[in-house]
Structure 1
Amino acid sequence: MNSEKEIQYAIDKFYKIISGSAGERRNWNEFKSLFFSEDSSLASMKYNADKECITKGMDVESYIVGLCDFLKSNDFYEYGFNYEIKVIGSIASVYSEYAAKRKKEDSNIIKSGVNLVQLIHNGHEWKIHSMLWQDQL
């Protein structure tokens, strides 16, 4: 596999693990293994009613805890597309769009946006160092 395919595989695996039916068990150990460290940064960006930029930063464990509450009672399928991958040595930057549905076969998109992902090659494989995303829908 070349670097770009390995990188896209890691990000697609991220989406695959968080996707599933309500209450379905996710492999959180595999999810954690996608990251460079448990301190890797994940952050969502939104605007409040006053059009001020609000970010919510979290580490991997905080992200899992927050998402688990939602996934207990919600079907959720998210996937990435339109990847733009730039690799320089052992670091990579990825722009991707994403969309989410309640059911895999649904045509109705419940959420979409943009993901910016930075990865590090640790000598063996690509690991996610940080993610920043903004919902557009």
Structure 2
Amino acid sequence: MKKLILLLTLSAFIAATADAQTGDQKYLPKVKSLDSTLYNLYAVISGEKGEKRDWDLFKYLFHADAQLIPSGKNQEGVIGARYMSPDGYVTSSGKWLEENGFFEKEIYRKVDTFGNITQVFSTYESYRSEKDEKPFARGINSIQLMHDGSRYWIINIYWMAETAEHPLPEKYLPH
């Protein structure tokens, strides 16, 4: 019985390793550069109503301990933040994105890098459809990334939508 359990455990490990390597082969080019990583971040959450998203790619973009952190005022007017793992984001937002249609497009970027860390202020516009002419929302994603020598990992995304009280500053808009 112990040999059977060991054999099943080993088989599961080999299968998981093969799946991870297949994912690496498939997705590694998408995280080789800062530009490709950010492009794929926006592309993977965007799609027309009814269009499936590649949630495996979405999760591949992120470090295992990454957080997605929306911030802003709640119903009572208190400023706060909500912390989600990539899996938590998919659970809380994935169905809505696919059922309603959603496109987020980067319109401006400010990048600061020191060693293996990069901080990006990425100004975005949000649309329900790619055909929409005017965005229904805008804001800034503060994206922290790590380059491990072979790929970029998203460590955190901390964002805030534009409001009447906090319009986007000119320095974070296209010139």
Task: Answer yes or no: same fold by TM over 0.5.
Answer: yes
Q: Which residue of 1 aligns with 2:50?
A: 23
Separation in 1 of the partners of 2:101 and 2:111? 29
Return the index of the structure with the highest Cα Rg. 2
2:144 is the counterpart of 1:118: yes
| Per-residue Cα deviation, 1:76-127 (whole angstroms, up to 9, x for no partner) | 1111121111111111000010011111121121111011000001221111
Q: Which residue of 2 aligns with 1:10?
A: 37
Separation in 2 of the partners of 1:49 and 1:72? 25
Deviation at 1:49, TM superposition (A): 5.1
Separation in 2 of the partners of 1:21 and 1:49? 29
Q: How does 1:35-46 map to 2 (within 5 A)?
A: 35-37=62-64, 39-46=65-72
| Per-residue Cα deviation, 1:46-76 (whole angstroms, up to 9, x for no partner) | 1135542121110110001111121232011
2:76 is the counterpart of 1:76: no
Separation in 2 of the partners of 1:55 and 1:126? 25
Contact 2:49–2:129 under 8 Å retained in 1: no
2:80 is the counterpart of 1:54: yes
Deviation at 1:135, TM superposition (A): 0.8
Q: Give the % identical residues.
A: 28
Separation in 2 of the partners of 1:69 and 1:23? 10
Q: Which residue of 1 aligns with 2:89?
A: 63
SS in structure 1 at match of 2:97: helix
Q: Which residue of 1 aligns with 2:17?
A: none
Structure with larger RCO (C-alpha < 8 A, sep 6+): 1
TM-score, reference length from structure 2:
0.70
Contact 2:48–2:130 under 8 Å retained in 1: no
Contact 2:51–2:98 under 8 Å retained in 1: yes
Q: Which residue of 2 aligns with 1:134?
A: 160
Question: Which has the larger share of helix?
Answer: 2
Q: What residue ranges of structure 2 are gaps of 5+ in the alignment?
A: 1-31, 164-175
Q: How does 1:90-109 map to 2 (within 5 A)?
A: 90-109=116-135
TM-score, reference length from structure 1:
0.89
Pairs aligned (count): 132
Q: What residue ranges of structure 1 are gaps of 5+ in the alignment?
A: none
Q: Which amino acid aligns with 1:12?
A: Y
Contact 1:79–1:99 under 8 Å retained in 2: yes
SS in structure 2 at match of 1:115: strand
